Amino acid sequence: MSASNECRYNYDQSKETADWLLSRIPQKPTVAIICGSGLGGLADLVENRSVFPYKDIPYFPKSTVQGHVGQLVFGELRGKQIVCMQGRFHFYEGYNSSTVTYPVRMFFLLGVEILIVTNAAGGLNPDYNVGDIMMIKDHINMPGFAGENPLCGPNDERFGVRFPCMSDAYDKDITRLAQEAAEEQGCASFLRHGVYCMLAGPTFETIAECRALQILGADAVGMSTVPEVVVARHCGLRVFGLSLITNKVVTNYDSKERANHEEVLQTTRMRTEDLQRMVSHLVGKL
């Protein structure tokens, strides 16, 4: 087994982290939100906050990416007890699958039932525009094609079954509620439904790679989210995912366009208020 697939964290460590947090928060959360690049402002809507920097939490990894604050925010949003993860972990930071997904197993042990994942993504679908919000209806796990799956290694039945189903990874009932929330908040005109493809990064995609992903049926591409979704479904959590389309991928060799992280953060700043309003309204409907 490769070093990247070694199971570095076990059930007892996850439980120790969860118990440490439970002893410091007034109520258990039922909803967890993972905030993608530049989307950490979602946590600013939380009331009666308890904030824990990653560096203070037992066994917790640390986020090193610009646009990721690196803290857990517990509190109340629209009458629901939630936890917001401001800053996630990625393969390209040098973390393995077990580390990237560690927070999700810990959420499960906290009592979380629903996971909302958000990310910044490049638009592969030519009909998409910068600033569109895509509800994820399915994903393509490219690292998984190469054997990099967070469930590789010994299975612990206390988390889930050996061979979990992924054909229902994204909850249709939550998606329906999110569609309602988007319409009620005036976001329907830039809302899409599509397939998210994950690559490991940190390089942005080549033109040939983008063309190949389009042939595979991907509508958006990014460097995160799928490992967390896989582990969440393994633990039996219901999952809803959103991608903010922050740039359009380059598919023409004559194009002078170049993907860059600053453009990603700039677009998130433009659309942050809409995304926050939509997610907040959705949480109130759950």
* pLDDT, the chain, mean: 90
pLDDT above 80 for 262: no
In the chain the first and final C-alpha atoms are separated, in Å, by 41
200 closest CA partner among 145, 142, 117: 142
Q: Regarding beta strands 80-86 and 31-35, do their DSSP bridges make them parallel or antiparallel, or are they unpaired?
A: parallel
Predicted local distance difference test score (pLDDT) of residue 65: 64
Q: Which amino acid is at 17?
A: T
The tally of domains found in the chain comes to 1
Which range of residues forms the domain containing residue 68?
A: 3-285
Percentage of residues of the chain with pLDDT beyond 70: 91
Question: How many alpha carbons fall within 13 Å on the CB side of residue 224?
Answer: 27
Catalytic residues: 37, 68, 90, 92-93, 120, 223-224, 247, 261
Q: Do residues 118 and 242 touch, judged by C-beta distance below 8 A?
A: yes
Confidence of residue 36 (pLDDT cuts 50, 70, 90): confident
Structure tokens at 273: 């208020």
Confidence of residue 252 (pLDDT cuts 50, 70, 90): confident
Structure tokens at 177: 């509620």
Structure tokens at 150: 């967070």
Predicted local distance difference test score (pLDDT) of residue 5: 43
SS3 273: helix
Q: What's the mean pLDDT in 276-282?
A: 91
Structure tokens at 144: 């998984």
- DSSP string covering 190-259: GEEEEEEEE---SSPPPHHHHHHHHHHT-SEEESSSHHHHHHHHHTT-EEEEEEEEEEEPP--TT-----
Give me the CATH number covering residue 273: 3.40.50.1580
Q: What's the mean pLDDT in 225-249?
A: 95
Q: Which amino acid is at 203?
A: T
Q: Regarding beta strands 31-35 and 238-248, do their DSSP bridges make them parallel or antiparallel, or are they unpaired?
A: unpaired
User: Measured between alpha carbons, how far is 72 from 74 in angstroms, rounded to an integer?
Assistant: 7
Predicted local distance difference test score (pLDDT) of residue 37: 67
